[in-house]
């Protein structure tokens, strides 16, 4: 055995380690770039809203009572749409939002974990019992968009979906209470 062998061995180990470090570095850089790129250009961000709500009394008091669900233009002019995700339906089944205007979606669940996405938009969030899921967005195209539940929530999961009806701002006419519903338009 020559004396140089251990030294060469060390060098090979160092070479392999540097190669792996470089590979991992490239992966991390690529991942971060994708996250930053989608956040800047498509407004795709991880949900950041941490807001507690009691799932046991969700439909009995406060924000998510039956009468308060759906789309409402708040006092300040902000359009807010409230939806309850429950096994195995959304309440309401159809909501109306105006195009090209900031809309806030607020969802909550009284039973199990659901998830929503609105096809063709950046809206995509989990709906976890005990929390209010909130998404700010602007719908740019008019039409009926499918909003399916995308988290397996039980046997009726595949039948759980709603419609988000995006209408031109001119046709978006709130009633005296600031409400707009699919039935009335």
* Site residues for ligand CUA per CB under 6 A: 85, 114, 149, 151-153, 157, 160
Contact (CB, 8 A) for 148 and 161: yes
Nearest distance from C-beta of residue 160 to ligand CUA, angstroms: 4
Nearest distance from C-beta of residue 151 to ligand CUA, angstroms: 5
Nearest distance from C-beta of residue 130 to ligand CUA, angstroms: 16
Cis check: omega of the bond before 88, within 30 degrees of 0? yes
- DSSP labels for 10-47? HHHHHHHHHHHHHHHHHHHHHHHHHHHHHHHHH-----
Q: How far apart are CA 136 and CA 123, in angstroms?
A: 8
Nearest distance from C-beta of residue 116 to ligand CUA, angstroms: 8
Q: How far apart are CA 35 and CA 19, in angstroms?
A: 25
Query: Judged by CB, which is closer to ligand CUA: 148, or 174?
Result: 148
Query: Judged by CB, which is closer to ligand CUA: 99, or 116?
Result: 116
Query: Judged by CB, which is closer to ligand CUA: 69, or 180?
Result: 69
């Amino acid at each position: 055995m020559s004396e140089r062998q251990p030294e060469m061995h060390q060098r090979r180990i160092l070479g392999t380690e540097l190669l792996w470090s470089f590979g991992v570095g490239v992966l991390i850089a690529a991942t971060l770039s994708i996250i930053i790129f989608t956040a800047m250009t498509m407004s795709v961000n991880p949900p950041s809203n941490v807001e507690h709500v009691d799932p046991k009394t969700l439909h009995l008091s406060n924000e998510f009572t039956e009468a308060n669900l759906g789309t409402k233009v708040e006092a300040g002019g902000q359009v807010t749409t409230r939806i309850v995700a429950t096994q195995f339906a959304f309440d309401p089944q159809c909501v109306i939002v105006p195009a090209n205007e900031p809309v806030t979606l607020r969802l909550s669940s009284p039973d199990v974990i659901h998830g929503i996405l609105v096809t063709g938009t950046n809206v995509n969030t989990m709906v976890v019992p005990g929390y209010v899921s909130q998404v700010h967005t602007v719908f740019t195209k008019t039409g009926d968009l499918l909003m399916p539940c995308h988290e397996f929530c039980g046997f009726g999961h595949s039948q759980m979906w709603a419609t988000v009806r995006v209408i031109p701002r001119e046709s978006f006419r709130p009633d005296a209470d600031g409400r707009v519903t699919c039935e009335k338009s």
